[in-house]
Each structure stands twice: as C-alpha cells, then as structure tokens.
Structure 1
Amino acid sequence: MTSAPARLPLLDAYRAGHLSEFFARTPADLPAFLQAQRVLDRPALAAALRAYHLDVGLPDGTAKKADPAAKMLAAQLEKLSHPEARVVVAGQQAGLLGGPAYSVHKAADAILLARQLSTEERPVLPVFWIASQDHDADEVASTHLLDFSEREFEPRLDLPRGVPVGRIAWRAEWSAQLLELIGEFDAPEAHKAAVRSRLDFAFKGRTYADVFARLMYTLLGEHGLIVLDPLHPALARLMAPALAAEIERPLEGPQRIEAAAEQLEAQGYAAQLRRPPGSTNLFVEEESGQRTLLRVSQQGGKAFEGYTKAELLSLLDSDPSRITPAAGLRPIIQDYLLPTAAFVVGPGELAYAAELRGVYGLHGLEQPVLWPRLSVTWLEPNVARLLERFGVTAAQFQRDPEGTLGKALASQQQAAALSQERINHLEGEFSALMNELSALDPTLKSSVERSKNRTMSRLERHRQQAYSALARAEDDKSGQLTRLKKHLLPAGHLQEREMNFLTYLLKHGDTPLKLLLSLEAGAQVDVVIP
C-alpha cells in the first residue's frame, strides 16, 4: 500500500500512483486493463441503446439518405456488439443548451481517448451518460453566453424542484425563449443560422434530457459519440439486478464509503461523500414524481422508511427506472451496465471515486481507469491579444485577476515601489539589521525576526492592494479588466465551468469544434480561436 503526503493534491497523487488503497489503477494502467476480460451481454446492451435512440427520435442510419451522424451511430452500435468491445464513458447533467463548456469537452475527450485505444480486434466506443436521474433543478436550469458586443446572456427556465430532469417535459415556450435569445445575439448571421438549425433539431425532444441528448448528437454524433439516458426503460431493465442487490444489503455500500472517507481524512484529504447511519445509496421516485433518498427504518415492520424490501423489489420489477442510484452508487451502476475501460472525470468526480473502490467490490466489479478530463480555456482573438499585451497567461489571470493585471501594469510602468527587487532589498536590510542587533544583544534576535516578518507581511499585503488599485484604475480607463473577467471568469467562475460552448459556435462557426477534436486526449490547454 502506498500513501501520498497530504500536501500533494489528490489529482497529482492519483496520477503518481500514490493512492493505491483508494484507486485500483491509474491512467498508465489503461493498456493493460483493456486486455482484461469483461463478461457482459453486449448485444443486449446494443439493442437497448438502439431502442433508446429510436425513442428519443435519433435516426437509426438505415435510411438511404441518412446523414453522417446517423450512419456513424448505426456503425458504433454494431461495434458495441463485438465480444471484446469496451467503452470510454463521460457524463454530466443535462444542462440548458448543453450546459457549461466542459460538458462538451468531456464528451470530446471520450471520443479522443476511444479513437486512441480502438482497434479492429477490440473496438472502443465513446459513451456520454446523461444524468437524467438527477433532480437538482438549479444545476441545469440556466446557462451563460457572451456575444460580440460583450453582452452577457443568462437564460433561466422555471423547472419543477425535486423531479428527475429526465421526467420534465420540454415546453414550446422554452424553445421560443431560447430562439429569441439567438436572434438578439451579436454574431455572424451564418453562424447563428447553423446553431439555430441544431437547436431546432434538439427542441423536438420530448423531455429536458431528450433535448440535451439531441443537441449532443448534433454536435458530436458524427464523430462517434453514443448518448445514453439511464431512465430509458430498456436500459433501466439491464441495470435492475445491480439495484436489486443493493436493496438486499442496503447498508454495506455506505459503510464501505464511510470507512474510505475516514482513511482519506487520516491522510489529510477532505472526504466528498459521507453516509450518515441509516442512509442508503438508493433513491426512489415517489408516485408524486419527487425523488427521495431511501433510509433504513429504525423501527416498525418495514425494512426501509416507507417501504418493505418486497415492495421495493416489486417496484424495481414493474418500473426499474423509479429506483435510481445516489452518488455513492451511480458510477458502479454505470460500469455494471457498460464494459467500461476508462471513465472521464473532473476533480470532483475523482474525489468521489476515491471512496468507491469497496462498493465496486460488493458488486463483483473492478473500478475502471479514471481518466482526468480534457480541460480547455478558449481564447478569442481579442482576449489572446490582451493577454499577450500584458504578458500574462489565462491561468494566471484566473487565479488572481486584479493582482495579475496590476503586477503586469506595474512592470510596464516601471513602478519601482512595487518591484520584487525593492522588496528583496528591504528584506536584505532587515536581515542585516537583525544580525547587527543580535550581535549586540542575542536575546533580541527572536523579537526582531518577528518584527521583520510582520513588517514584510504587511508590505506584501499593501503591495497586493496597490496592484489591485492599478488594475481598477486601468479598468476605469479601458475596461480591460472587466472584459477579461467576462471571458475568462464569467460570473466569477472558471470559463469552462460557466460559459456555454454555443457561445463559441455562434461567434466563430464550427472552428472551435474542429479545434477541440484535434486535441490530445486529456490535454490541459489554452486554445486560441483564429
């Protein structure tokens, strides 16, 4: 067993193979893991996915005039029936207009990695798991776009609370509201028409999750992406045995999660998942449509609060989509259904996964390779020019916008009072004074050193305040700080976690999509849009 020092971030420790008690393997193990046998009825899975795609209105590729995406989908599902087929899976909630850009980045990463791994003898297919079972309306009800006039658009829909998004019927007035936004958006008409065409297709979906699925299909279907909605009856039926096993032993998984959480915290990491006594890893969708976490009953004749075990098993048999996994079980159910070789994850998902290895074991599964996702910061031409002018990177600006810009301005203005050389000189003078005073009276050394440290700390704080003042003064004159924030830190969040990917398609056509699909799998990059 190898342990990482707590000072090493979890992602770095994982990549280095220092957390083998929490993770079964690292990205370096992916070629070997592909060789492992995974017993699964792949033809049944492919048939269920065909049924889902037909129900969501995605073409099956058999028509004479089938478009490239439809033909690709048919070919991909055929490959999935191959006895050695594996998948690279990514997933995200069904965000409005596709959600934050990283939803598309994740899906693209699954495509890029699957391309890299796939062979004729062992096809590897990219799958996007739509979190249609999720009931957090606030996470998916709004999005953020920015047009060429630097106007921010933040559409928000009024969604019912506590209901799985895959059960929410799409409304015609939502389509009208969003298409009106596209009309107002300052961008080339040809690019707007292309996006409008994608949205016209997407908005024919019956549910919120269907609309998301159809939009992802228009973006990445022709590149091989297979979308998957776990609420679809045919797919839910295939997952039912794993959920039945969880109903039979509802506390074992949570207990293993708690044990892993304690181990993580002992090593200095924050546990992202906790399971209080009585909590299970299962949700039930009530007759009202509300999704409720199942708890083991502490009294009475029912095994669960509100249900007997037999009632839950009967419900699972009659409508398997109404029993759904919580965060501590969702990846396991995903990998029970799919022949997963790699799971594309962000930092939050990796932190969750650190507590789930034992739950995989309960279901007779091996945890797949967790692939740290592709991360892209898009630099439009005006933003790239500004960053170059100030001599800063996007990452530096995102970490400390005022300080980074102020420091660059101070350097350009040759503000000696803010230079590192001046600070170093002062620190040297303090050190010399400390040594001289200590030579006269050794008992003064510690108090003089404390005085030095306090003074230098205050000077550094004042220097940072001066940097911020410089940045604000420049912003008052030119608006450059505000402009960079709108592009790189929209609403105070990292760009790819907030900005909708359609922003870039509306303004620059399909160029950003082509650039995205030309990257290396797992890359962490800034991409300049020409």
Structure 2
Amino acid sequence: MKAKYISYQDTHSFSKLVLDYVNDEEFLKSFYSFRPDMDGLKQAVDARNFKGNRTELVAVLTRQYQNVKTNKSVKHNIDSLAQENTFTITTGHQLNLFTGPLYFIYKIVTAINLALELKIAYPEKNFVPVYWMATEDHDFEEINHVSVDEKNISWIQQTNGATGRLDTKTVAAAVLAYKGYLGISKNGKKLAKLVENAYLNNNNLADATRVLVNSLFENYGLVIVDADDPTLKRQFCDIIKEDITEQRSADLTVKTSEALEKQGYKTQVNGRDINFFYLQDNLRERIVEKDGKFVVKNTDINFTREEIIAEIEANPERFSPNVIMRPLYQEVILPNIAYIGGGAEVSYWMQLKANFDYYEIDFPVLLLRNSALLVDKRSAENMNKLGFNFEDIFLPTEDLQTIWTKKNSESQITLDDDRRALQAVFDKIKLNAFKIDKTLENSADAAKTKTNRLLENLEKKFLRAEKRKHEISLNQIENVKNRLFPNGTLQERVVNLAPMYVNYGDDFISSLIENFQPLGGDFTLLLPS
C-alpha cells in the first residue's frame, strides 16, 4: 500500500473542536497542558512527576501476562516500566467483540508509532505503547457485535457487571459465525485460529481480548493493561474517598463544559456528584448519596460515611471509576505522557483539565489518533476511470454525481451565462423604474428574485434530465461511495479487521505501522501500490 495525506478538514468528518485543536486555536489552550507535537511531548516528559508505584505496576502486569505467550519485546517493555526513565504512550478502548471497528486497530498503531518516534528522538529514555482495556465498562450491548460485509455477528448474553469479567462460555456461536466469514484462505484461517484460541481457551472477556490483541501486536512491544485490579486500585484510594465524600468533580466539570459550550463546542460527558460505581461479580451500579447515606442504585446496599470509607480502604477493587474518573486513575498508575484517542475522547479529556489540576495529577499530551480510509483496487480503478481525485471521494454522493454530470454533458445544462445577461437586463429595468417612481424599485427587485428562482428550478430540471442519460456512471459513483463509506460514515467506524486481514494478512498492520504519522496532523488515505 501507498499513502496519501489530506487535511482533516477536507474529510468533512470531524468536529469543530477537533479541527480547532489540531489547528492550535488560541481559546482551547487553557483546556490542555502541552501541544501534540514533539516540543510538547518533550515538555511533558520533563514535567512528568509520576507518583505511582512502578514495582507494583510491573508485578501486576507480570501476573496478568503469566499465561500469555509473548514476544520478548513485550517482556522487555514490562520490565522497563520499573525504571525511572521509562514512560508510557497510552490508548484505551472497550472490549469490542473480535476487535470491533477498525479505529480500534488505528488507535493502537498510533500509540506504537509515537513510542517509536519518541525513542528515536530521545534514545536515553524508554517509551512503552500501552493499550488500556476498559474492562470495567458494563454496557455489553455496545460491544457484543461486529460488522462484516454489512452483516452483524452478535454474542448473545445477559450481563449487568463489568464486561471484562464476563464468562466466555457462550461466545462459541459468535466465533463460529466469524470463522465462517473468514473462509479458507491462508490469511482467513490464520485469523480464525487466533480468534478461536483467544475466545475459546480463556475464561473471561478481558483475558480473551488480551490474548487476541497481543497476538496481533506483540512484535511491536505493545503492553496491555487491565486496571480492574486491587493492587492498582489501592493506589487510587485517596481520590476514590474524596470524590465520593466531598463531591467536587461535578462542579469542576460543569464549569469547564459551560466555558466550552459558550464558544460553540459540543461537550461529550456530564459530571456527576459521585463518579464511581460499586463493582462486584455481575453488578456495576452507580453510587449516589441519599438521606445522608451512600446508596448503590438498584440494590439494597448502602453505607454511612464512615462505612464507605472503611469499605474503600478494605476493598478498593469494588469501586469502579466512570468516564470522569477513569482518565485520572490511568494517570495515577501509569508513567504516562500522552493519551491517544478519537475526536470524542479528545473533547471529553479537555472537560477534565480542571479536575486534573484540582487533584494535582499531570495532564498528558492529548493526541488525535490516526484516521484512515483504505481504498481497495476496484474502487481506485473506478475513481480513476470516472476522473475523480481521491480527495473527492469525501464529498456527498449527490455532489459527486452532479460534478461528473456537468463535466461529461454534451449539452449546456448550466444557466450561468443567462443569469449574467438577465442581471444586466434587470439592472436597466431597475434604473428605469427608479426614474419613473422610487417605489417601483422594490417591485423590480422582486421580479428579478422570482426570475432567478425560476432559472434555478429550470437548471435543476436540466440536471435531472441529463443524469438520466448517465445512469451507469452515476451508479458506479454510488457503489464506490457505499463500498468506502458503509452506512454513510467513515469506513473505520464500521468495518472490522476481518476483510482487511483476509485480503492483506499481516501486511495490513505492517502497512499501517509504515504509513501512519502520529504527529503528522493529517488523515491517511491508503491506496493500492
């Protein structure tokens, strides 16, 4: 594959906040600490005041990997986390079935590539790419399906607890359906074997996800963290207690959100008075304060202030952070300098800056993950034959069809020359009207407006009639758009790894590693070589 890069703005697919952040909008600077460039990253490294326990982190990771066959680069990276000159580059995501949409893969590749770039820039330091598994999320319906060839493969299961703890006994039917799609090609059989080993030979979804993601990325030293761990949670105890009993985060988040909204930015998350769930097997429910007690919603569990403090100290693993507190937890236990996320994540992290400042936790560099569109050979050939540049494909289907029709019509279907001629005529009419009676000037303007509207409607009829003559080419345009933008959205938000792996095998991921530029600030088009 070869790569071509275009600005995020030209894709018409990213929010105002994301575009302004990439373009260094002055107003946003108070909502983050360092720019997402090499200078900003160096400042983040120099300023990092990591207070977490490196020895405990290494011990937890070593235990989590004890039954996973890993490349020596993974073991090396885990061990290096004990050293003061080692930092992490982190991305996080839910435990989507069979890796979910492609952007999950793109997140990890961005983290790997940024770690490599930083190691080259600062060889005296170590940079470890980390995938933070969102094992404590409980919204199973968000992650229990995957799209392959416009068909959904789903894992049917009832659960209300943390998805990472979910038993994989019932996933066999989904694995079988996925293998059926992968087929009998060499690449398909290889991915099928990886999936089968991960999901059928591990007892829970967290372990299954770790094994599958490790098998895809172990050569690049990716370290996978499951923070649903009592040893790691204990390092977060003080913040858990303060958030639950003092409840300051909501006000901080609201003020930040209001400031962003006044500037026209859409905020992503809403703070709560208490930002923790109570977590047990098959249970993850919000904690709320009611009548002087701390109540676990939809249960009979409740605590006095003294009792909940004692419970946090005795069993910190039972307190699960929500979207507001999870980033703080991450930065407490990891020597992190950069977080890589999609547009929505960049937005909600900015809402948390005041929270980080309050708890005196270093705020990492926010880096927009690499985004990409892989253009298959057939689509590339069709676009070339139709006379479009690759950048044009981001335009709406109807716009592309109109552009093509106007370029290829043998008839005159635009009335621009006629409009200019009529403009001159109406200017003369308006002048005469003014000489006769000043009040007639408005009537002349109204007549001109009505005539222009009639011309616009006539031009639309010309265009529709001309389009009917070119049905085959216009259908080709629609088909290309549907292939590259399933459900009318970016490919990466819908398509799974499966078709890419079947077609390209390991070369797909290696091509991403080769072509993604984490500090490039552009959208990546991956084209046939």
TM-score scaled by length of structure 1: 0.84
Is the CA contact (8 Å cut-off) linking 1:512 and 1:529 kept in structure 2?
Answer: no
The offset of 1:308, in angstroms, is 2.8
Is the CA contact (8 Å cut-off) linking 1:108 and 1:516 kept in structure 2?
Answer: yes
1:143 lines up with 2:146 in the alignment: yes
Which residue is equivalent to 1:223? Answer: 220
CA distance in 1 between partners of 2:469 and 2:288 (Å): 56
CA distance in 2 between partners of 1:313 and 1:394 (Å): 59
CA distance in 2 between partners of 1:450 and 1:159 (Å): 65
Q: How does 1:1-400 map to 2 (within 5 A)?
A: 9-15=16-22, 16-18=24-26, 19-28=28-37, 29-40=40-51, 41-54=53-66, 57-59=67-69, 69-118=70-119, 119-146=122-149, 152-171=150-169, 173-185=170-182, 189-203=185-199, 204-250=201-247, 252-275=248-271, 279-285=273-279, 289-297=282-290, 299-302=291-294, 306-393=302-389, 396-400=392-396
The offset of 1:364, in angstroms, is 0.9
CA distance in 2 between partners of 1:461 and 1:375 (Å): 40
Give the 3-state SS of the residue equivalent to 1:283 in structure 2.
Answer: strand
The offset of 1:463, in angstroms, is 6.7
Give the 3-state SS of the residue equivalent to 2:138 in structure 1.
Answer: coil
CA distance in 2 between partners of 1:289 and 1:108 (Å): 33
Say if 1:509 and 1:268 are closer, same or farther in 2 by CA, change over 3 A.
same
Kindly, what percent of the aligned residue pairs are identical?
Answer: 22
Give the 3-state SS of the residue equivalent to 2:430 in structure 1.
Answer: helix
Per mean C-alpha deviation after superposition, the further-off stretch among 500-509 and 461-470 is 461-470
AA paired with 1:79?
A: S
The offset of 1:427, in angstroms, is 4.1
Is the CA contact (8 Å cut-off) linking 1:282 and 1:324 kept in structure 2?
Answer: yes
Is the CA contact (8 Å cut-off) linking 2:198 and 2:208 kept in structure 1?
Answer: yes
AA paired with 2:63?
A: A
Say if 1:244 and 1:302 are closer, same or farther in 2 by CA, change over 3 A.
closer
Is the CA contact (8 Å cut-off) linking 1:407 and 1:467 kept in structure 2?
Answer: no
The offset of 1:94, in angstroms, is 0.9
Deviation digits for residues 85-115 of structure 1 (CA, Å, limit 9, x no counterpart): 1111111111111010000000000000011
Per mean C-alpha deviation after superposition, the further-off stretch among 241-250 and 212-221 is 241-250
Which residue is equivalent to 2:5? Answer: none
AA paired with 1:53?
A: Y
Say if 1:450 and 1:229 are closer, same or farther in 2 by CA, change over 3 A.
farther
Say if 1:386 and 1:157 are closer, same or farther in 2 by CA, change over 3 A.
same
Which residue is equivalent to 1:498? Answer: 494
Which residue is equivalent to 2:429? Answer: 437
AA paired with 2:176?
A: L
Deviation digits for residues 280-315 of structure 1 (CA, Å, limit 9, x no counterpart): 222222x57232222232x24558874333333333
Say if 1:355 and 1:413 are closer, same or farther in 2 by CA, change over 3 A.
same
AA paired with 1:168?
A: L
Is the CA contact (8 Å cut-off) linking 1:406 and 1:466 kept in structure 2?
Answer: no
Is the CA contact (8 Å cut-off) linking 1:402 and 1:472 kept in structure 2?
Answer: no
Is the CA contact (8 Å cut-off) linking 1:437 and 1:444 kept in structure 2?
Answer: no
Which residue is equivalent to 1:416? Answer: 412
Greater C-alpha Rg: 2
The offset of 1:184, in angstroms, is 4.3
AA paired with 2:236?
A: M
Is the CA contact (8 Å cut-off) linking 2:100 and 2:496 kept in structure 1?
Answer: yes
Is the CA contact (8 Å cut-off) linking 1:511 and 1:529 kept in structure 2?
Answer: no
Say if 1:361 and 1:176 are closer, same or farther in 2 by CA, change over 3 A.
same
Give the 3-state SS of the residue equivalent to 1:280 in structure 2.
Answer: coil
Per mean C-alpha deviation after superposition, the further-off stretch among 223-232 and 430-439 is 430-439
Higher relative contact order (Cα pairs below 8 Å, separated by 6+ residues): 2
Q: RMSD between aligned alpha carbons?
A: 3.1
AA paired with 1:58?
A: V
1:526 lines up with 2:521 in the alignment: no
The offset of 1:131, in angstroms, is 1.2
The offset of 1:410, in angstroms, is 4.0
Per mean C-alpha deviation after superposition, the further-off stretch among 470-479 and 384-393 is 470-479
AA paired with 1:52?
A: Q
CA distance in 2 between partners of 1:476 and 1:224 (Å): 49
Say if 1:254 and 1:301 are closer, same or farther in 2 by CA, change over 3 A.
closer
The offset of 1:260, in angstroms, is 0.8
Is the CA contact (8 Å cut-off) linking 2:88 and 2:129 kept in structure 1?
Answer: yes
The offset of 1:74, in angstroms, is 0.6
Is the CA contact (8 Å cut-off) linking 1:402 and 1:481 kept in structure 2?
Answer: no
Give the 3-state SS of the residue equivalent to 1:26 in structure 2.
Answer: coil
Is the CA contact (8 Å cut-off) linking 1:474 and 1:481 kept in structure 2?
Answer: no
Say if 1:303 and 1:493 are closer, same or farther in 2 by CA, change over 3 A.
same
CA distance in 2 between partners of 1:138 and 1:470 (Å): 46
AA paired with 1:42?
A: R
Tell me the number of residue pairs that the alignment of Structure 1 and Structure 2 aligns.
497
Is the CA contact (8 Å cut-off) linking 1:87 and 1:125 kept in structure 2?
Answer: yes
CA distance in 2 between partners of 1:130 and 1:261 (Å): 27
**Of residues 414, 417, 423 in structure 2, which corresponds to 1:425?**
417
Is the CA contact (8 Å cut-off) linking 1:341 and 1:369 kept in structure 2?
Answer: yes
Is the CA contact (8 Å cut-off) linking 2:294 and 2:308 kept in structure 1?
Answer: no
Gaps of 5+ in 1: 1-6, 60-68, 147-151
CA distance in 1 between partners of 2:215 and 2:107 (Å): 16
CA distance in 1 between partners of 2:156 and 2:88 (Å): 35
CA distance in 2 between partners of 1:99 and 1:464 (Å): 42
CA distance in 2 between partners of 1:310 and 1:451 (Å): 79
The offset of 1:389, in angstroms, is 2.1
Per mean C-alpha deviation after superposition, the further-off stretch among 457-466 and 349-358 is 457-466
Per mean C-alpha deviation after superposition, the further-off stretch among 232-241 and 378-387 is 232-241
The offset of 1:460, in angstroms, is 6.4
Give the 3-state SS of the residue equivalent to 1:343 in structure 2.
Answer: strand
TM-score scaled by length of structure 2: 0.85
Gaps of 5+ in 2: 1-13
